[in-house]
Amino acid sequence: MEYRALGKTGMQVSALSFGASSLGGVFHDVDERTGIRAVRTALDLGINLIDVSPYYGLTKAETVLGRALAGLPRERYFLATKCGRYGAEDFDFSAERVTKSVDESLSRLGVEYLDIIQVHDMEFGDIRQIVGETIPALLRIKDRGKARFVGITCLPLAMFVRAVEQFPAGTIDTILSYCHYELNDTSLLDVLPPMEQRGIGVINASPLGMGLLSLRGTPPWHPAPDEVKERCRRAAEHCREKHSNIIKLAVQYSLSEPRVATTLVGTASPENIASNVAWAAEPIDRQLLDEVLEILKPVHNVTWHQGRSENN
């Protein structure tokens, strides 16, 4: 497993990390014992960063993860969770709620501190409140020793830049971006320079585009435009015709950018975790990659909007 520096945090994180949303049954029902084995398998294979949120499975993911981590040495893993989003339409970025949320997460996870506490999906909030209230509250939590670092997450990339520019360097330690560094979308590259300048670590999530890059296809709720879904389906079919797997290619591609510290892969399957780790160590098929990128070229960087209109 390759390890990379996460900004200026001092954390050396595995290039492939564990997205624990799967433990909450976000994509399909998950047997708890299987999910716990997936976490343990990931750690045994060298993955050392786990990301979760109280929103995933409405606290189920944190609860199951806590059971998976029980009895393990705390120094064996880095742990990140989030605050601010608690349901599909349940957002509360107030200082009072995020402070309470951190204590609730610590209890469910069975740990005394978090490595990273992140504002979850801040595009659904008022940027003025997040800058003036939410992040200052998390900095106080950091001062109390309940979290080591503070991060932000959202879909609109420009919002990351807007947020970090309003604080001195070293205030925000990490960003978590999803669906913006994958085979069909590499727009995350546009915000890497300003993040590097401030020493902010970059976490990439959803290398499969929340199901876009798979033969299974997207779930009904997927917000991508139809043309994107169709092109991704063609790319997946092309990989199958070439006796390969678009999931393998997508994981390898997302790991190929060294300026991105780590890429989260969400699965509650021990077997899938083992496959992802094995793929990470193999060279990418350059010819197949070129063919797939050509198929996806008409929808390159085509995304969707979510959250408040002023944040997109």
**What ranges do the domains of the chain cover?**
3-211+247-284
Do residues 262 and 13 touch, judged by C-beta distance below 8 A?
Answer: yes
Q: Which residue reads 């989260």 in tokens?
A: 264
Instruction: Name the band, by pLDDT with cuts 50, 70 and 90, for residue 28.
Output: low
| Section 20-26 average pLDDT | 87
Rounded Cα gap, residues 116 and 113, in angstroms:
9
Do residues 137 and 102 touch, judged by C-beta distance below 8 A?
Answer: no
pLDDT of 168-215, one tens digit each?
Answer: 999 999 999 999 999 999 999 999 999 999 999 999 999 999 999 999
pLDDT of residue 221: 87
| Section 115-139 average pLDDT | 98
Residue 56 appears among annotated catalytic residues: yes
Segment (H or E) for 85? strand 85-87
Longest Cα pair distance anywhere in the chain, in angstroms? Answer: 55
The answer to whether residue 27 scores a pLDDT higher than 70 is no
Rounded Cα gap, residues 148 and 169, in angstroms:
16
pLDDT of residue 219: 82
pLDDT of residue 216: 87
Work out the percent of the chain whose per-residue pLDDT is above 70: 99
Predicted TM-score (pTM) of this structure: 0.96
Q: What burial class does residue 88 get, using C-beta atoms within 10 Å of its C-beta: 0-12 exposed, 13-18 middle, 19+ buried?
A: exposed
Nearest to 258 by CA among 201, 301, 297: 201
Residue 136: strand, helix, or coil:
helix
For all residues of the chain together, what is the average pLDDT? 96
Superfamily grouping for domain 3-211+247-284: NADP-dependent oxidoreductase domain (3.20.20.100)
**Could you say which of 55, 56, 86, 253 is catalytic?**
56
Category of 112 on φ-ψ map: left (φ > 0), alpha (ψ -120 to 50) or beta: alpha
